[in-house]
Structure 1
């Protein structure tokens, strides 16, 4: 009897069996995984974006181990917590106050609580098909749900004070604030990553954040996935968003579980005044804070531009390889995180993404790549994550694998 439900604790991390055999990771290092089948794979899931430095980065592991040895859970304040906060806010501009948490879902939950207290309003807005965590309230309207479709003529979906907004739709922004004058906050996932790395249209995010502020609503940047992925800071800041609060996680800890809520001082003062409840036994624990300090120190030293250029070149090379086999392919996203689509043109919004997404194609591609020792997400809307650990050998292995997979898919299609 398998006592672990589904063989894994998070359903989104499950991989399909091949020839009746499950895939179990034995070890991960840099850009590579070693499986229970004795084979080595170049990885593109990378902890679902939980590292920019590669698996088991030595210069992160060493201080984390030291923190564990000194005591992983001292209950009370410790120096690493303050050091980690100082390190983090050196990258986040006016968002200069920090509360550490354990998961991105917790951080978003606390951000919503903060916005409601700060404004005295109850409604929160999020993008249809975005992903802001798995708690009930923000799981409403995730990609793949009927609510996420949001046809223009339909009534705006709402549940438990959560409203949905169509991503990249300027008109829908204006209509939203005309319909609802009592919005507490808008959650902005700057790139619709979990719906296939759909990029924001020029000026869209600034239009939304400006409109929210005009109407007295706060702006929450959900940077759990995109934070520190395009530069050593928040993606929303690159794209013109004036945020009041932000949630971060994943890349700030290099695979060690950690998240944080960031905010402007005048809003975070609500915590100092004890007007907002916060708790969490493990929040800001020493190993997590040691990981933040070590990770950010290294990300400050890295040049993102070569990684982004290399990733964009890989995207182009993969598309060309499929074209050589007579197969349509396009991509959306950026050099360090992108999605491939079985179409000549990448989607510009979720409606287009849902129409293009093909679960069977995504699974077939995953299986073909696993045969070439390349590990990918096996589902539609999956992403390819590239990190500073993806050196020339890893990139060549990826391209070789995709070329072979394209040939197999073409042969199967005929």
Structure 2
């Protein structure tokens, strides 16, 4: 791969070699991935959460293929765009206006622009260790960055962004007391890229209350969590009433598409010219066909069974490691969670940093690969399940983790 920078276009895809061999994917379908050696793996990365229906669901593939055959880029308005927008809006309550883009990073950027226009303020408050895309403004403070740890206990800031400590209401109150130029609070329902840190009871509601009190918007970044726990934004499960929601990943079943859904009075800025919105590929026919088809499938999907299946797997993993004399815990939800080499999972980023053991996480990744199970090698990685993870896939996951636990115990004792 002499011409591809670093051998890959997105750094998150890099995997360590196993017995000197690199894993290169040649095909994915349902819960499975095949490498170029022809070996099948049960997959828990699932396009980093982008395929809640499983890889290449036939109905979505056919819909996208038909749109491709009809012409993927007509430049002008096409019939499928409003249909796809309506399919999204139907699930978003008062957030009835939708704009499509191609990536989650673009959706976050567009939502921040909308918040600044709507409030006349310039600063975005985002979560330290949260991942809201790779564009300059919101890449600040991502997990692993020095500023995410609040060095010297001072609040890290740029000209346009201030960081907040996740699960710390007092810190949010302090920020609004310090600064009067906050356009919006930007938060995920769960800090996924920091190891699936879940919000304390009442935390997200407190953020919403603070935003309303100070004339700021609440922006929920659900690029990862949207349509993961139910057929709609996960923030609805907490009774939240955000002003803007970003969606991606699950809404396109592997096709590159993301969306911003917002209140009409906020989104109007992009119709009357106050806010720039453009993008050659935004809302293209292939993406819109994938969205419409995916929404129809998710409306019929059995979320309670999927979440219960995931919760059972989490319990099984903990029990398997306990049987091998190793304490582990999980954080997250039934179909998206992280594994920690500790008796209890972290509550916030400071605890996650202390518990992080990259060597342990990589060893687990390699032990599981030997068993035909594919997981992220990072300590902040997630395990995703899809509706395609059937009994065979779940049995393979349980068996793989049980054998990996024994292998890690034996390696530690050697």
The TM tier, using the shorter chain, reads over 0.9
Maintained 8 Å contact 1:80/1:289: yes
Q: CA deviation at 1:13?
A: 1.0
Q: CA deviation at 1:410?
A: 0.2
In structure 1, C-alpha distance between the alignment counterparts of 2:236 and 2:306, rounded to whole Å: 20
Is 1:3 aligned to residue 3 of structure 2? yes
Maintained 8 Å contact 1:232/1:299: yes
Moved more, 223-232 or 157-166: 157-166
Q: TM-score, normalised by structure 1?
A: 0.99
In structure 2, C-alpha distance between the alignment counterparts of 1:410 and 1:138, rounded to whole Å: 40
Maintained 8 Å contact 1:137/1:160: no
Q: CA deviation at 1:150?
A: 2.2
1:344 aligned residue: 343
- After superposition, give the CA deviation of every residue in 1:69-102 in whole Å (9 maximum; x if it has no partner): 0000000001100100000011011110001000
Unaligned runs of 5+ in 1: none
Q: CA deviation at 1:242?
A: 1.7
Aligned pairs for 1:383-398 (under 5 A) are 383-398=382-397
Secondary structure of the equivalent of 2:153? coil
Is 1:238 aligned to residue 275 of structure 2? no
2:38 aligned residue: 38
In structure 2, C-alpha distance between the alignment counterparts of 1:239 and 1:193, rounded to whole Å: 17
Q: CA deviation at 1:20?
A: 2.5
Aligned pairs for 1:264-303 (under 5 A) are 264-303=263-302
In structure 2, C-alpha distance between the alignment counterparts of 1:308 and 1:117, rounded to whole Å: 39
Aligned pairs for 1:116-131 (under 5 A) are 116-131=116-131
1:171 aligned residue: 170
Q: CA deviation at 1:160?
A: 2.8
Is 1:149 aligned to residue 149 of structure 2? yes
1:405 aligned residue: 404
- After superposition, give the CA deviation of every residue in 1:139-189 in whole Å (9 maximum; x if it has no partner): 1000011111126x7221101311000000111111111111210111011
Maintained 8 Å contact 1:326/1:410: yes
- After superposition, give the CA deviation of every residue in 1:293-340 in whole Å (9 maximum; x if it has no partner): 000000000120011011000000010000000001000000000000
In structure 2, C-alpha distance between the alignment counterparts of 1:381 and 1:403, rounded to whole Å: 21
Q: CA deviation at 1:240?
A: 2.8
2:161 aligned residue: 162
Is 1:90 aligned to residue 87 of structure 2? no
In structure 1, C-alpha distance between the alignment counterparts of 2:396 and 2:154, rounded to whole Å: 48
1:76 aligned residue: 76
- After superposition, give the CA deviation of every residue in 1:89-122 in whole Å (9 maximum; x if it has no partner): 1101111000100000000011111111111111
Aligned pairs for 1:179-328 (under 5 A) are 179-328=178-327
Aligned pairs for 1:51-66 (under 5 A) are 51-66=51-66
Is 1:362 aligned to residue 373 of structure 2? no
Maintained 8 Å contact 1:308/1:336: yes
In structure 2, C-alpha distance between the alignment counterparts of 1:8 and 1:272, rounded to whole Å: 38
Number of matched residues? 413
Secondary structure of the equivalent of 1:381? coil
Q: CA deviation at 1:387?
A: 0.6
In structure 2, C-alpha distance between the alignment counterparts of 1:64 and 1:42, rounded to whole Å: 25
Q: What value does the CA root-mean-square deviation take over the aligned residues?
A: 0.9
Q: CA deviation at 1:241?
A: 2.2
Q: TM-score, normalised by structure 2?
A: 0.99
- After superposition, give the CA deviation of every residue in 1:275-295 in whole Å (9 maximum; x if it has no partner): 101100000000000000000
Unaligned runs of 5+ in 2: none
Secondary structure of the equivalent of 1:137? helix
Secondary structure of the equivalent of 2:253? coil
Maintained 8 Å contact 1:363/1:378: yes
2:48 aligned residue: 48
Secondary structure of the equivalent of 1:221? strand
